[in-house]
Amino acid sequence: MGTTASQLPKELLSEYQELTFLTKQEILLAHNRFSELTKDETSSPNRRVPMEKILTMPELKSNPFRERICYVFSTSENKDGSLTFEDFLDLLSAFSDSATLEIKSHYAFRIFDFDDDGTLDTRDLERLVNCLTGETEDTRLTSDEMRQLIGNILEESDIDKDGTVNLSEFQHVISRSPDFVSSFKIVL
């Protein structure tokens, strides 16, 4: 099943290119992948792919934040993590090589903010660490190790010393991490 211009109108393709960090070729490839996930040739922008199908993509399958990624990019009113084609493009755009550090850090912050309260508090940081280390008996940190690690993270990141990391503090830390941009990507 090839992607043709007739599946995605030229005007829409140009608009998507202007609104994302994706090339026309990447948008067409994304449209093809999205159509494969829906098994539907129509290009209705309101069609949704359930999160369960998105999570089967090899690019997300082993990502420890895969469900949070879907929730953050989903515009679904019932917060089910399902994605429209435009949500899917937003996700791919934010993870593309061409996205700016500001965009990447903004979305990373939202993904790590598990309770969606606009800050990374101790609970968010604990969940973040557990996602990164795995939650098995062999990989899980002890309470003391977790407390020490979160203390170190807050010491390094919490500039205003309020016990949380806000977006600007997070972006400040990320700006000093040159590997962040290259590691925060999904390639189709």
Query: pLDDT digit string (tens) for 120-164?
Result: 999 999 999 999 998 788 888 999 999 999 999 999 999 999 999
> In this structure, are residues 91 and 33 in contact, taking their beta carbons and an 8 Å threshold?
no
Which sequence spans correspond to the domains of the chain?
Answer: 10-94, 101-183
101-183: CATH architecture: Orthogonal Bundle (1.10)
Q: Band of the pLDDT at 185, cuts 50, 70, 90?
A: low
Task: Tell me if domain 10-94 and domain 101-183 are identical in fold.
Answer: yes
State the maximum Cα–Cα separation within the chain, in Å, rounded to a whole number. Answer: 59
Q: What is the reported pLDDT for 72?
A: 98
Average pLDDT estimate for 22-45: 83
Structure pTM?
0.87
Question: What average pLDDT is seen over the chain?
Answer: 90
Q: Give the fold, CATH level 3, of 10-94.
A: Recoverin; domain 1 (1.10.238)
Complete DSSP assignment for 97-163: TTS-HHHHHHHHHHHH-TT-SSEE-HHHHHHHHHHHH-SSTTTPPPHHHHHHHHHHHHHHH-TT-SS
The number of helices, as runs of H, and strands, as runs of E, in the chain is 11, 4
